[in-house]
Structure 1
Amino acid sequence: MKVKDFSFHLPEELIAQHPLEKRDESRLMVLDKNTGHIDHRVFKDIIDYLEEGDCLVLNDTRVMPARLYGAKEGSGGKMEFLLLRRLEKDVWETLVKPGKRAKVGATFTFGNGELKAEVIEVLDNGNRKVKFFYEGVFEAVLDSLGEMPLPPYITEKLEDKERYQTVYSKEVGSAAAPTAGLHFTEELLNKIKAKGVNIAFVTLHVGLGTFRPVKAENIEEHEMHAEYYYLNGENADIINKTKESGKRVIAVGTTSNRTLESIADDNGRVKEQSGYTSIFIYPGYKFKIVDALITNFHLPESTLIMLISAFSNREIIMNAYNIAVENKYRFFSFGDAMFIH
């Protein structure tokens, strides 16, 4: 299957540059994955499509303000650091620009010197292994100095950092938000729980690889990035009981979907575990556990549109996307949502 099979015309003005004032008032396209039938609704109407006993699975990861601007000690040259993955307590895999200034042994300072860094290794992929030096708690220092690492397609500055976090975010570690969850408000989640819908949480720390284009012409040759996940026993029980009762497991976002499909056994059961997943889901994949999916509208030729095409089929999804463009749905992180069932 070719990358170009997942191409469509996306006018640049449909890539949402900022979140709506109210999270749950984005638009919602409801798609029957088998027939292709479409309803146009508002996101808070999602409750009408949820049934008592269903289980919504949310990714409770929290985005780090992982972009740091600093200067090289000695020359004062301006530098940009993007924290990708914690390797040890104060050692991170980091994307550094400009890379030519970031040789092993080079040191850098951020803010008024509250944070310093030293490059200790250049990795095979060109990223740097960096050790940070500071006083106090690293997360607090990062919170005061760092900026949200918005995707490259969003060029406007985000005024409120919390709008790039879900209302239930808890486990710090992502370089990008699990954006399908951005549509939920506390009030909407309470209404969903009152209807008898179960809520379960997984953690998958989203890496910047989620924005990496598929460069292989044949999608089977694309190598996915690895991302850390965790599911505890209590949430595993909620998910398993949902399956045993014949009700639906509904993944909120491709990150929850990938986590569940990585963990589930061939009988669609899960258990407490953690690790790294590089699962790549594209048409032909047989889903083991996920019955329905809430997701945003993704970019052409991305691994994310390939995943949702696997959940339905390519023709139905590409038709739905063309209808979304015609109807001026908003795309990507701050855009509108789709419920595929």
Structure 2
Amino acid sequence: MHPKQLSINDFTYELPDQKIAKFPLETRDESKLLIYKNGEIADDIYAYLPSYLPEKSFLVFNNTKVVEARLLFEKESGSTVELFCLEPADDYSDITTAMLQKQKVLWKCLIGGAKKWKEGLLRKVIPNHQNKYLNAQKVEKRKDYFLIEFTWEDPDLSFAEILHLLGQIPVPPYLNRKAEEKDKETYQTVYAKYEGSVAAPTAGLHFTETLLQNLKNRNIHSSFVTLHVGAGTFKPVKADSMQAHEMHAEFIDVSLLFLEELLHNISEKIVVVGTTSMRTVESLYWMGVKVLSKIEDYTMVSQWEPYELPQHFSATESLNALIGVLKDKNATRLLARTQIIIAPGYPLQIVDGLITNFHQPKSTLLLLVAAVVGNDWKKIYQHALNQDYRFLSYGDGSLLWKN
């Protein structure tokens, strides 16, 4: 069956509210770890992950950093308007460039309490900056968001610093609680580096510096990609079939060095930490295929392209082609976007194993898990429920080897 014909109603299960972790464990790597391999399930904790990975495995992490994307403006009437900063306007080549803008930037936003803000400026004092303000002005309404122009009076502050000073960490809506000060630390991976996500790559929240060192001691190699997670990761599937669901697009930033490392390790077990790392690595394969197929716009992978492009190229051929085109341009980074949907019927091209949390029913993330393990996702999730695993962003996780 082509993934377009899949019904999201076949990918659901009963998730009691008490199974959803509202807060993380005090010690990250004490979270439970379910191991699935060849149809068999075992239980352990993340601290012992190295013993479940073959030596010389190549581990891929997403080093994106969550930004304080929620801005609350209080109007003179006392009512509050919330602006949720999704991603920069299309004027900017990448998120980092947009984050470094000073005094003015255009951003795609959702508005909470939009009816309270008919016209005019929203204003908010910038703390410790001598009565200087952040201003928000509606530019236009688009289909799924508002385009907002932010301006501020301090020429030394970047937009990233503005968000640090004025914004709140956007904890997932299904936690049904407000962000707390501690979330600024616990809702980031210990290796988070490049700002731009509105949600954490949650599989990485379980890793500690000690665990990372123990992986290295076992001769397990690791490297980093950057995929900035958009709010679309929480977008519910409302269509009867996946064909009618529009997948969200996300920004990818990958170094030439990473591509060369991936190619060098392609004969080893490639294990991705999180669905975002998996989306990135698999998208890189299709970008290389587009280069080999002489398709001009190789830096964007649309939703259904992987099911329509030629599939006879090896991962080695594809990565070599992508590396070659970057070297021809004297480029050290690949800036791209992906809208890839990985669902049952998708042929994994590079990835052998996935480390991931337990995802919401009827979500595209659950489809991705089913693409790795097939119909055994039901057995895995039932086992996790029976064994009191904690679910969703702050919950426990799993190591899933592809079937």
TM-score, structure 2 as length reference: 0.80
- Note if contact 1:251-1:294 (Cα within 8 Å) is conserved in structure 2: yes
Q: Distance in 1 between matches of 2:392 and 2:194?
A: 23
Q: Distance in 1 between matches of 2:350 and 2:221?
A: 16
Residue 97 of structure 2: aligned partner: none
Q: Distance in 1 between matches of 2:24 and 2:15?
A: 19
1:224 partnered with 2:250: no
Q: Secondary structure at the match of 2:281?
A: helix
- Note if contact 2:138-2:146 (Cα within 8 Å) is conserved in structure 1: no
Equivalent residue for 1:300, pick from 340, 343, 361: 361
What are the superposed Cα offsets for residues 182-237 of structure 1, whole Å, 9 maximum, x if unpaired?
Answer: 00001110111122111111100000110011011112321101100011111111
Residue 336 of structure 1: aligned partner: 396
Residue 123 of structure 1: aligned partner: 142
Q: Distance in 1 between matches of 2:269 and 2:117?
A: 50
Q: Distance in 2 between matches of 1:140 and 1:129?
A: 18
Residue 222 of structure 2: aligned partner: 199
**Pairwise CA distance, 1:75:** 4.4
Mean CA deviation greater in 12-21 or 79-88 = 79-88
Q: Secondary structure at the match of 2:344?
A: coil
What are the superposed Cα offsets for residues 274-305 of structure 1, whole Å, 9 maximum, x if unpaired?
Answer: 21111011100001111110000001010000
Residue 164 of structure 1: aligned partner: 187
Q: Which AA in structure 1 matches 2:334?
A: Q
Equivalent residue for 1:52, pick from 52, 55, 65: 55
- Note if contact 1:94-1:130 (Cα within 8 Å) is conserved in structure 2: no
What are the superposed Cα offsets for residues 230-285 of structure 1, whole Å, 9 maximum, x if unpaired?
Answer: 11111111111111xx2111110000000111111442243452211110111000
- Note if contact 1:198-1:238 (Cα within 8 Å) is conserved in structure 2: no
Q: Secondary structure at the match of 1:300?
A: coil
- Structure 1 residues 76 and 109: alpha-carbon distance in aligned structure 2, compared to 1, 3 A threshold: farther
Mean CA deviation greater in 131-140 or 81-90 = 131-140
Residue 207 of structure 2: aligned partner: 184
**Pairwise CA distance, 1:76:** 4.9
**Pairwise CA distance, 1:339:** 0.1
- Note if contact 2:62-2:276 (Cα within 8 Å) is conserved in structure 1: yes
What are the superposed Cα offsets for residues 313-333 of structure 1, whole Å, 9 maximum, x if unpaired?
Answer: 0x2011110111111110000
Q: Secondary structure at the match of 2:223?
A: strand
Q: Distance in 2 between matches of 1:79 and 1:331?
A: 31
Residue 113 of structure 2: aligned partner: 98
Q: Distance in 1 between matches of 2:277 and 2:124?
A: 34
Equivalent residue for 1:142, pick from 124, 140, 163: 163
Q: Distance in 2 between matches of 1:322 and 1:145?
A: 42
Residue 312 of structure 1: aligned partner: 373
**Pairwise CA distance, 1:98:** 1.2
Mean CA deviation greater in 329-338 or 90-99 = 90-99
Residue 123 of structure 2: aligned partner: 109
Q: Distance in 2 between matches of 1:27 and 1:298?
A: 15
Q: Which AA in structure 1 matches 2:284?
A: I
Q: Secondary structure at the match of 2:35?
A: strand
Q: Distance in 1 between matches of 2:224 and 2:144?
A: 32
Q: Distance in 2 between matches of 1:254 and 1:233?
A: 21
- Note if contact 2:106-2:147 (Cα within 8 Å) is conserved in structure 1: no
Q: Which AA in structure 1 matches 2:314?
A: N
- Note if contact 1:96-1:128 (Cα within 8 Å) is conserved in structure 2: no
Q: Which AA in structure 2 matches 1:63?
A: V
**Pairwise CA distance, 1:308:** 0.7
Q: Distance in 1 between matches of 2:136 and 2:383?
A: 49
- Note if contact 2:357-2:398 (Cα within 8 Å) is conserved in structure 1: yes
TM-score, structure 1 as length reference: 0.94
- Note if contact 1:68-1:110 (Cα within 8 Å) is conserved in structure 2: no
- Note if contact 1:123-1:129 (Cα within 8 Å) is conserved in structure 2: no
1:287 partnered with 2:358: no
- Note if contact 2:108-2:145 (Cα within 8 Å) is conserved in structure 1: no
Residue 11 of structure 1: aligned partner: 16
Structure 2: unaligned runs, 5 residues or longer:
1-5, 93-100, 127-131, 289-312, 324-332
Mean CA deviation greater in 22-31 or 88-97 = 88-97
- Note if contact 2:253-2:336 (Cα within 8 Å) is conserved in structure 1: yes
Residue 263 of structure 1: aligned partner: 284
Structure 1: unaligned runs, 5 residues or longer:
none
Q: Secondary structure at the match of 2:143?
A: coil
Q: CA RMSD for the aligned pairs?
A: 1.6
Equivalent residue for 1:237, pick from 260, 275, 279: 260
Q: Percent identity?
A: 39
Q: Secondary structure at the match of 2:60?
A: strand
Residue 273 of structure 1: aligned partner: 334
1:85 partnered with 2:70: no
- Note if contact 1:176-1:206 (Cα within 8 Å) is conserved in structure 2: yes
